[in-house]
Structures are given as C-alpha cells and as structure tokens.
Amino acid sequence: MKKLLLMMTILVLSAGAYAQIETPVKWSYAAKKLSPTEAVVFLRATIQDGWHIYSLNVKDGGPIKTSFTFTPSKAYGLIGKTSEPAAITKYEKAFSMDVSYFEKSVTFQQKIKLKSPNASAVKGKLEYMTCNDKKCLPPDDIDFSIPLGK
C-alpha cells in the first residue's frame, strides 16, 4: 500500500512538472501622485530573453496589441491615452507586415485625474500577446489594481 501511494505521488508530481504554463512576461504596477488632483500609474512588463510583447499601436490584421481597459470610477478619470516608449518596428513573416513590439522590459503610463480625495486605487484589465521567433502564446488577460497611496 505504501509503494502504491509513493508511486501515485511521484506520478502526480512528475505530471505537474510537464504541465507548467509558460509565462515569459511578469507585470508590476506603481503609481505616483503629481498633485492632489492628478496622478500617473505605471504598468511595467518584464519580458524573458527571446520573447516580446506588442505595442499599443498595431494595425488590424497583425498580432493582438497590448491594451489597457480602466474600470470606470467616480473617484478618478483618465487624462488622455496610455503612453508607451519608442518601440522596435520590424517585418514579421508570421503576420506579413511590419509590427511594433518591446523586448526585455517596457513601462506604459496613464495619467489619472483624481476626482475624490478618497481615490485609493486604479483598477482595470490588460490584454497582451507574447511571441518569440518560434511561436506565439495565446493572448492573456490580467486584472490589476494599482494603489494610489497618500
């Protein structure tokens, strides 16, 4: 009986090792208050070597672009659009077009108008797609909540 239990445990653990999901991108968040009525939130992607994520500005017919959807709130509103640094733009055979993307890391920024002194966090969802020179992973959606601090 102990041998059977031991074999089952080993089987479950080894199967779990093969079933790991690839996650070549890690997201982190921060916010900085610029004034009592304005803040900026930072959404940073740290990308494993050999992988990339796409710009906010990808033409139709290409890969899934990175996008941010901020949850509407009475406590805050968006000022302008989400910004990004200069991207790498190259022709990708997989999409038969020039595409803009980021490697290693990228920080996106969104200015926020604080409508209430009680605004404590900016919430929303981001969507992005990751590729390397051999494959693309399915698009991923991640919910986020960025504390605004005091």
* Residues 54 and 66: beta-carbon distance below 8 Å: yes
Q: Where are the domains of the chain?
A: 24-147
Which helix H or strand E contains 3, and what residues bound it? helix 2-18
Report angle CA 96, 26, 51 to the nearest 5 degrees. 30
How many residues are there in the chain? 150
Prediction pTM value? 0.84
Report the b/e string of 56-83 with b at 16+ CB within 10 A: bebeeebbbbbebebeeeeebebeeebe
**pLDDT score for 14:** 41
What is the CATH number that goes with domain 24-147? 2.60.40.1250
Integer CA distances (angstroms), 54 to 14, 21, 81, 123, in order: 34, 20, 17, 22
Instruction: Provide the pLDDT for residue 150.
Output: 64
Query: Distance between terminal CA atoms of the chain?
Result: 59
The predicted pLDDT at position 125 comes to: 98
Q: What is the pLDDT of residue 2?
A: 44
* CA–CA distances in Å: residue 132 to residues 18, 67, 121: 20, 19, 34
Per residue of the chain (150 residues), what is the pLDDT tens digit? 444 343 444 434 444 444 457 899 999 999 999 999 999 999 999 999 999 999 999 999 999 999 999 999 999 999 999 999 999 999 998 889 999 999 999 999 999 999 998 889 999 999 999 999 899 999 999 999 999 976
The SS3 assignment for 139 reads coil
Residue owning tokens 């070549």 = 24
pLDDT of res. 20: 58
What's the pLDDT score for residue 149?
76
